[in-house]
Amino acid sequence: MTSNSESKKVIGFSSGDLNGVGLPLLMKIFTDQRILQMCTPILYASGKVVGFYRKDMGLQDWNYNMIQDPSQAHPRKFNLINCWQEELNIQPGVADPKLSNFARLSLHRATVDCLHGRIHGLVTLPIDKNLMQSEEFQFHGHTEFLEDASRSHGAAQAKSLMWLVADSLRVATLTGHVPLQEVPERITQASLAHKIKEMQSSLAFDYAINKPRIAVLGLNPHAGDGGLLGQEEMNIIQPAIRQMREQGILVFGPYGADGFWGTGAWSKFDAVLGMYHDQVLIPFKTLAFEQGVNFTAGLPFVRCSPDHGPAFEKAAERKASPSSLLHSIFCALDRLRMRAEQEDLAAHALVKSKSNQELEHSE
């Protein structure tokens, strides 16, 4: 596949929970032929499952192209790779652990094709993390699985950065999916410095923001209130911020989370780093629930997903909105385009540098 930023990108879709909202929403999105002009989609699932939803949704005139591998993908059709042959009992809205093995099969096959460069990017449809747990899948979610798969494939960078993004709002967490009682012990100057550097690098590479402004939230109410409500801000977070500023990174804080979100201060920054999950995810989903996207930076390929789970209740009622999934597709395409442009710029800079060196030697 070509890396030309103008080429049409091939986007793979893992099936997610087969009784959740993901698969029918994806099919609904691709009833609009305009989306096929933007990318070449490949769904990793089963023709029998797609056939069920096509009938359930009344899409008898909606067709797809069955293929064996990505090289056979038709650029103007919805493509499907069969990952299993079994007949499954699909019941939209039912949390059925027997179906999780097929979600794992889909995710594994799509990830392998990403890692081997057969598809350009991956959009993962929502899974139920608890139902997914097994001997084959012992991860907190997609992100940890993809990190592990990348390391096994020999990727130089094994640690990813989970962004939640919606237009100019970009948030990340220091500690991610961990119990709240474990958060304080995980906040160190080293972990903060590493995360801030990851954010700065991704904002430059994935968003072309060369001097991003990053806000850091405190751990305690009112960012510790000068030590009255906690020492982490004074002893750990502030020194880490000073260290990063000395290295030329425009990082500010720590800010008290309530005032920061309540006054709209987030709009003055290119990204926000919170100490724990709910500190940034609650305001993010309040501000941008139907537009929010989970973008995983730091992997050897682009991965995006909706910012919601399988939403079994909405799947049963057939009332889910495709907005977050649609924005996930747009985000993946934007990140691929931006990375290609950054790589082209870097390549041209290298050629120019070599030319200048050759000219100097000739003189």
pLDDT of 243-298, one tens digit each? Answer: 999 999 999 999 999 999 999 999 999 999 999 999 999 999 999 988 999 999 98
- What percent of the chain has pLDDT above 90? 83
Classify residue 267 by its DSSP letter: G
Contact status, residue 18 vs residue 53, Cβ threshold 8 Å: no
Residue 24 CA to its chain's centroid (Å): 20
Closest among 99, 119, 98 to 110, alpha carbons compared: 119
Q: If you count them, how many residues does the chain have?
A: 363
Give the span between the Cα atoms of 304 and 332, in whole angstroms: 6
Pinpoint the alpha helices (H) of the chain.
Answer: 22-29, 33-36, 47-56, 100-115, 129-132, 142-152, 183-186, 189-207, 232, 238-246, 257-262, 277-288, 312-317, 323-362
Q: Is 253 helix (H, G, I), strand (E, B) or coil?
A: strand
pLDDT of 177: 83
Q: Under CATH, which number does the domain 168-290 receive?
A: 3.40.718.10
**pLDDT class for 345, splitting at 50, 70, 90?**
confident
Which residues have a Cβ under 8 Å from the Cβ of 310 and sit 6 or more positions away?
16, 17, 19, 20, 21, 22, 95, 126, 127, 128
Give the span between the Cα atoms of 162 and 348, in whole angstroms: 30
Contact status, residue 58 vs residue 64, Cβ threshold 8 Å: no
Q: Write down the pTM of the prediction.
A: 0.89
Task: Write down the domain spans for the chain.
Answer: 8-161+292-363, 168-290
Q: Is 306 helix (H, G, I), strand (E, B) or coil?
A: strand
Domains 8-161+292-363 and 168-290 equal at CATH topology level: yes
Closest among 183, 168, 342 to 264, alpha carbons compared: 168
Give the span between the Cα atoms of 333 and 339, in whole angstroms: 10
Identify which has the larger pLDDT, 363 or 300.
Answer: 300
* Helix 47-56 vs helix 22-29: crossing angle, to nearest 10: 70
Query: What is the phi/psi pair of residue 263, to 5°?
Result: -90, -5
Give the alpha-carbon dihedral of 301, 306, 309, 315, to 10 degrees: -130
Query: What is the phi/psi pair of residue 235, to 5°?
Result: -90, -25
Closest among 293, 301, 331 to 70, alpha carbons compared: 301
pLDDT of 359: 52
pLDDT tens for each residue of 62-98: 999 999 999 999 999 999 999 999 999 999 999 999 9
DSSP string, 269-300: SSEEEESSHHHHHHHHHHHHTTT-EEEEESSS
Q: What is the mean pLDDT of residues 212-220?
A: 98
Q: Under CATH, which number does the domain 8-161+292-363 receive?
A: 3.40.718.10
DSSP string, 152-195: HTT-S----EEEEEETTEEEEESS-SS-GGGHHHH--HHHHHHH
**pLDDT class for 155, splitting at 50, 70, 90?**
low
- Which residues are 213's β-sheet partners? 250
